[in-house]
Amino acid sequence: MVIEIPEFIVPFIPWIRGLVGLSLVGAIFLGAMGAVWIERKLSADIQFRHGPSRVGKFGLLQLVADAIKLFTKEDMRPSNADRLLFDNAPIFMMSSVFLMLVAIPVGAVFINGVEYPLAVTEMDISVLYIEAMSAITIFGIFMIAYGSNNKYSLLGAFRNFARMVGYEVPLGITVVSVAIMTGSLNIVEIAQSQGLLWNIFLQPIGFIVFFIALMADMGRLPFDQNESEEELVAGWITEYTGMRFGLGFFAEYIHMILGSFLVALLFLGGWNVPAFIANNAVLGLIAPTGFLLLKTVLVLMTIIGMRWAVPRFRIDQVVDMSWKKLLPLSLLNLVWAVGLGLYLGA
């Protein structure tokens, strides 16, 4: 859909996008802190514990205390570590997060019935761009593991390679399937095209494959073999302390939030709301973004809940699942998407 922008606003578009981008950077860090709190409280509820409760109301200030602890802990480096790789790897991982954030819309506002997506930039191949920027993380993990000069870290990195190579293929095929059915690689247009008929109903197999592959891509249980504590202590991040550890830890949670956004945008209808809400002067400014955030939080809680619902797989089981099960299902879904796209006239 082509949006006609008033002429007097055009010169201010770069400034508006810049303000949106800065706001998203701050919001995503607050969101990562919120995700940590949600995981600790939800995990505690599942295990009949209290979780954080002593620092602030409901333990909300526990995250501030943890941040102070990470900033003030001694920054240690192994004597035989590769200093260049060891020092810069966490920054490299965080750069992947910011590059992804550029293209992911976090909502939309409706002004006089016209839709304005809340994204730093909009590109024709945004879904492929997001997937490519997400894959940069694997280089950061290898830099951390190799630079640490630790055999457990290196073993964790090699497990990560085996997992990501196997799951990036069905993940990419599923994303392409959605794009073929929609007729666009632009994530904004994919979200807009769903309306009230979500892609999860049109491609249920694709949704299952995408969700499982995304879980593996993020390294969440049951796919966290690269840092399984009972085998590798902490795997690829074993040698890190202080805020270097904090950056790697935060990068994982931010990837989990952005992954939840992708699920909501590609399969759960994005920010689409009924026309009577979009045309309301007040609700049109709040409801679309609120709906998308609600879906994202529900996906996030599902991902966290999976940690306690499914036991960790062995690395051979993980590789078998990707190549022997998810890949055939993703190809089957691709054929279905092509036929459905032709039927729908994409």
235 within a domain of the structure (yes/no): yes
Pair 91, 50 in one domain:
no
Pair 143, 285 in one domain:
yes
- The per-residue pLDDT string of the chain (346 residues; one tens digit each, 9 = 90 and over) reads 444 556 666 566 666 666 776 777 778 888 888 888 998 998 898 888 988 888 888 888 888 888 888 888 888 888 888 888 888 888 888 888 888 888 888 888 887 777 888 888 888 889 989 988 888 888 888 888 888 888 888 888 888 888 888 898 999 999 999 999 998 899 999 999 987 789 999 999 999 999 999 998 888 888 887 777 777 777 788 888 888 888 878 888 888 999 999 999 999 999 988 888 888 878 888 898 899 999 999 999 999 888 888 888 888 898 899 999 999 999 999 999 999 888 877 5
Pair 123, 230 in one domain:
yes
Among 234, 187, 181, 188, CA closest to 204:
181
Pair 112, 194 in one domain:
yes
Peptide bond into 222 cis (omega under 30): yes
pTM for the structure as a whole: 0.89
117 within a domain of the structure (yes/no): yes
Pair 220, 282 in one domain:
yes
Q: Alpha helices, DSSP H only, in the chain?
A: 13-46, 62-72, 83-101, 126-135, 137-148, 151-182, 187-194, 199-202, 204-218, 229-232, 242-267, 275-278, 283-309, 315-320, 327-344
Q: Is the dihedral of CA 300, 302, 307, 313 positive or negative?
A: negative
Distances (CA, A) of 223 to 118, 298, 318, 319: 32, 20, 7, 10
Pair 247, 169 in one domain:
yes
Q: What confidence score (pLDDT) does residue 6 get?
A: 60
Q: What confidence score (pLDDT) does residue 186 get?
A: 92
Pair 150, 99 in one domain:
yes
Instruction: Give the containing element (helix H, strand E) for 116.
Output: strand 114-117
Q: What confidence score (pLDDT) does residue 1 get?
A: 44
User: Which domain covers residue 32, as residue numbers?
Assistant: 8-72
Q: What confidence score (pLDDT) does residue 325 get?
A: 93
202 within a domain of the structure (yes/no): yes
Domain boundary among 72, 103, 123: 72
Domain boundary among 49, 72, 95: 72
Pair 50, 93 in one domain:
no
Q: What confidence score (pLDDT) does residue 2 get?
A: 43
Q: What confidence score (pLDDT) does residue 5 get?
A: 56
Q: What confidence score (pLDDT) does residue 17 get?
A: 63
CA torsion 253→221→270→183, rounded to 10°?
Answer: 110
Pair 150, 170 in one domain:
yes
How far apart CA 156 and CA 62 sit, in angstroms, is 29
Pair 29, 99 in one domain:
no
Q: How many domains would you assign to the chain?
A: 2
3 within a domain of the structure (yes/no): no
